Amino acid sequence: MTKRRLSNQQQARISERHQRELVSGNEAGGARESSDGVSGERCNGRIVSHLGQQLLVETLEAGSSSGTSVRCFQRANLPALVTGDLVVWEAGDNDTGVITAVAERKSVFGRPAFSGNFKPMAANIDRVLLVIAPLPEPFPNLIDRYLVAIETLQLQAVLVLNKSDLHAEIANQRLDKLLSLYEGLGYETHRVSTVDNAGIAPLLASLSGLTTVIVGQSGVGKSSLINSFGVNNDAAVGSLSTAGPKGTHTTTTARLFHLPDCDLIDSPGIRELSLGHIDASAVFAGFREFRQFEGQCKFRDCSHQTEPDCALNKALAAGAISPQRVDSYFQILQSLDNAGR
Ligand SMILES: Nc1nc2c(ncn2[C@@H]2O[C@H](COP(=O)(O)OP(=O)(O)OP(=O)(O)O)[C@@H](O)[C@H]2O)c(=O)[nH]1
Ligand SMILES: [Mg+2]
Ligand SMILES: [Zn+2]
C-alpha cells in the first residue's frame, strides 16, 4: 500500500503541475466572451481519445481525474489535439463541451503522415513501450526505426518481446538475440506473455508513476498487454486472423487508460514506420552508440562508407559496434533517399 500512496502523491504533484500549465495556457489564449453557446465556466481536462469529429475529455478536478468524461468539440483556432493533451474546456449544448485552450506539451510521440510531416499521436508521455512478437514477425528494421524516432523526440524507449509462450512453437531465437543486442546498448527490455502472464508484474512495476504510450505493429498484443495489467475499461483485442499485415487493425485510435499508479496510452498498430520527417544526421544520432563517433571521422562530411579514417568503420572493424546496427543505419538512410530526399 505504501507504494500506492506514494504514487498517488506523485500523481497529485504531476497533476498540480498540469493545472498550472493549463491556467497559463488558457491565459495565453486570452479569456473570451462566450459567443458560441458555451457556459463561460472554464474546466481543466485531458484528452482520452478521438471519437470521430469529437474528442473524449476526462475532467480534472482538484489536481486529479474526477472519473467523468465529456464529449467535446475543439475551437477551430487550436492545433490538432491528441490523446494526453491537457486542455481547458467549457460546457456547451447537449451535454457536449468546447475545448478552448491547450497546455504546452511536455513531450509528444508521433510519426509522419502521408504528407511526410510529423503527425503527433500522444502527448505528455514519459516513455514509449515498443512491443514486438514472434507473430506477426517484425518487419525489417522495425526496432531501429522506432528507436531513431524515439531518440529524436528525446523520449525513453522500452522494448517488450510479447508472446513468450510461443517460444516452444516458433523458433524465435533470432528475436531473443535481437533483444539482447538492445539490452547491451542500455535499453530496458522485457520478455512477457499475456497468455501465461510471464513477466507482466515486473513490466507493470517499471511503469510506476509514469505515462507510457504503447506502440508496435498490429497484432503484437498492445491492447492485450493493457488488459493484462488489469485496467477497468478493457481495451479491445483482435483475433490474430484479423490483425496483421493484411487484416484490419483492432485498435483504431490512441486511448488513455488509468491504473492505480500509472497511465497508459494504447495506440493503433502500424504496417511500417517511415521516417520521412527525420534528416540523415538525426538518423545517425538516433543510433545511440554511434553518437560518440560524431565529428571523429577524418572528413567532416564522411558518409561512413569508403572514406579513409572513418571512426564508424574503425569501430565496426574493432567489433565495438554491431554490424547489424550499421546495416540497419544504411538501410534507413537509403529509404530516406528513396522517399525523394
Ligand atoms: N500466444 C499469445 N497470443 C497473444 C499474446 N498477447 C496477445 N495475443 C493475441 O494476439 C492477438 C492480437 O492482440 P491485440 O492485443 O489485439 O494486438 P494489438 O497489438 O493491440 O493490435 P492492433 O490493435 O491491431 O494494433 C490476439 O489474438 C491476442 O489474443 C500472448 O502473449 N501470447
Ligand atoms: Mg490494439
Ligand atoms: Zn565516417
3-state secondary structure 186-247: CCEEEECCCCCCCCHHHHHHHCCCCEEEEEEECCCCHHHHHHHCCCCCCCCCCCCCCCCCCC
> Does residue 82 or residue 240 have the better pLDDT?
82
Look at ligand 1, atom 29, and give the residue with the nearest C-alpha: 239
Q: Which CATH class for the 2-102 domain? A: mainly beta
Contact between 216 and 132 under an 8 Å Cβ cutoff? The reply is yes
Cβ-based neighbours of 69, under 8 Å, separated by 6 or more: 48, 56, 57, 58, 59
Q: Provide the residue type at 22 as one letter.
A: L
CB-based burial label for 48 (10 Å; 0-12, 13-18, 19+): buried
Look at ligand 1, atom 7, and give the residue with the nearest C-alpha: 221
pLDDT tens per residue, range 24-57 = 444 433 344 445 556 668 899 999 999 988 999 9
CB-based burial label for 275 (10 Å; 0-12, 13-18, 19+): buried
To the nearest whole number, what is the mean pLDDT of the chain?
Answer: 83
Helices (H), the chain: 2-29, 142-152, 173-184, 200-206, 222-228, 280-286, 311-317, 323-338
Residue 239's pLDDT is 56
Fold for the domain defined by 282-338? Ribonucleotide Reductase Protein R1; domain 1 (1.10.40)
Look at ligand 1, atom 1, and give the residue with the nearest C-alpha: 163
Q: Mean pLDDT, to the nearest integer, of 78-98?
A: 92
Give the closest residue to 210 by CA, choosing from 101, 92, 129, 311. Answer: 129
Give the closest residue to 123 by CA, choosing from 133, 145, 108, 111. Answer: 108
Pocket test for ligand 1, best of 224, 225, 234, 266 (most atoms within 8 A of CB): 224
CA distance 269 to 253: 9
Pocket test for ligand 1, best of 160, 231, 234, 237 (most atoms within 8 A of CB): 237
User: Ligand 1 site: residues with CB under 6 angstroms?
Assistant: 162-163, 165-166, 193-195, 218-224, 237-240, 243, 249-251, 268-269
Give the closest residue to 48 by CA, choosing from 256, 258, 260. Answer: 256
pLDDT tens per residue, range 169-226 = 555 678 888 899 999 999 999 999 999 999 999 999 999 999 999 999 999 999 999 9
Report the separation in Å between the CA atom of 7 and the middle of ligand 3, taken as the mean of its atom positions: 46
Look at ligand 1, atom 23, and give the residue with the nearest C-alpha: 251
pLDDT tens per residue, range 245-299 = 444 667 788 999 999 999 999 999 887 777 877 888 999 999 999 999 999 999 9
Per-domain boundaries in the chain:
2-102, 108-266, 282-338
Alpha carbon separation from 73 to 30, 52, 131, 217 (Å, rounded): 19, 10, 32, 30
CB atoms within 10 A of CB 325: 19
> Does residue 272 or residue 163 have the better pLDDT?
163
Contact between 222 and 252 under an 8 Å Cβ cutoff? The reply is no
First to last CA, the chain: 54
What superfamily in CATH does domain 108-266 come from? P-loop containing nucleotide triphosphate hydrolases (3.40.50.300)
Residues in the chain: 341
